[in-house]
Chains A and B, each alone.
Chain A
């Protein structure tokens, strides 16, 4: 299964620069990531040469590759090197970059456990992770993987793990908050780009977390310690006072703390959406799947975004055809269900993520450029907007023209389902509000969308009164 190297997904690559440094790659003196004619490369600087060589010579690289824990890379032979450069390497490309605030509970948990496992393995080979940032992990073929090849340094017995605080902020704190307070608190990772501050996490967690040794020590005591020493300096603190067995004990304890965190099973409003779907008869559902498959066959997209994917039922149709699909939904529990299935069945083409289409991930970080907005990580070849339009148009008061304008930015082909006002689901949305939507009609919908798209096909979905459309971005249409 090959990923086209020149796909635009996950990139910021203006055509007029031959080499373009990735906006988020500036903090690390060991090297940086850039694009060379659309291909992702990483420069290894001279200062890092010894660690890079050790990564390879110690056998750690091979071990991590064998377990699929680290992205592979190739060394570039015939490139002119800058004065401070040691080597240029070409890492395996990730088809879609995602961020920890978009991950569901288990995605973040798996990323955390991977980080700890990598650190443990690294120590066996005489190396250690320099940082434990959640942004060093991405998802590839349905599994978390480390993408920062330059994150390793030689392990010196006795030296404390510099990444410990970061691990607790990026992984343990958000997982604990999601587990013990509210699943929605993972969004704090969007606000705190270097992880949730431990004193905040400590305040927000319920008192009973003091009874769990893992959280008591790694969050509460840790937070107090940071606060206490914030105004002091302890010159001896970074010297050799953490023996290897102590480090292993620490890692083991962190692993236990993370593993024991479970997501609360309270169902949100969507979780049983497909189970009690009164609006679809079995035959209508079957028909809808056939139609979607037909449209996918016809367009043969290289990549797809499933908008409002819920637990990924229709993403799986695309996945079966080998189409890489980003499966977006606003409900963290639906995304969790989706991911658990991906993990269980070992699906390789689906990436479930949490996204609110009415408020998608913005660009954040230094100069608002470190982490890309959702739109910047597009467009996809094809987007699916099934059972979605009424949520955008009615619940979010978005006019059809605005919706179409957004759609045209993020895809070329669009499979979209029009849900008429008489539909039971729409009636539910209108129950507690005034019907201020005189324009919510099929002909208006078609009209407005045709300013941006060409309607290639439209089919009724059996007895459900809903219509499925296949559209293509028209050359004259849209802001693009």
Chain B
């Protein structure tokens, strides 16, 4: 049953994104690739956008924490040392 998973997902995607434009006629091995590209492009383009956006969010939070780290420095670097050993 799980063997058909790719097929199921594909059919769903087709139904949602492409189906309205389907027509009929002749043989073309390249068409499948174009269709898949359209579908995957949306999925991966979205995920890439999210990832870039996510990096910006993380970057923003890092800036916020940096301010905190600086205040720790004044009280003796303890905060920084913990951060490094945490990574190890």
Contact = CB atoms under 8 A, between A and B. Distances in A.
A165 B33 contact: yes
B15 interface: no
A2 interface: no
Interface string A187-205: 0000000000000001000
Nearest to A246: B41
A421 interface: no
B36 A221 contact: yes
Interface size class of A (residues with CB under 8 A): 35 or more
Interface of A is mostly: helix
Interface of B: 2-3, 5-7, 9-10, 14, 18, 21-38, 40-49
B12 to A, nearest CB: 11
Given A218-B40, A250-B44, A236 B32 contact: no
A357 to B, nearest CB: 37
Interface of B is mostly: helix
A427 B85 CA distance: 57
Interface in A213-243: 216-218, 220-238, 241-243
Given A164-B37, A229-B35, A234-B21, A250 B45 contact: yes
A59 interface: no
Contacts of B28: 229-230, 233
A56 interface: no
24 contacts: A160-B33, A164-B34, A164-B36, A164-B37, A165-B32, A217-B36, A217-B40, A221-B10, A221-B36, A226-B32, A228-B14, A230-B31, A231-B27, A232-B23, A233-B24, A233-B31, A234-B18, A235-B23, A246-B38, A247-B45, A249-B44, A249-B46, A250-B40, A252-B44
Given A161-B37, A207-B2, A242-B37, A225 B32 contact: yes
A210 interface: yes
B44 A207 contact: no
A326 B8 CA distance: 48
A249 B22 CA distance: 25
A249 B2 CA distance: 27
Contacts of A234: 18, 21-23, 31, 34-35
Nearest to B37: A160
A249 B32 contact: no
A245 interface: yes
Contacts of B24: 232-233
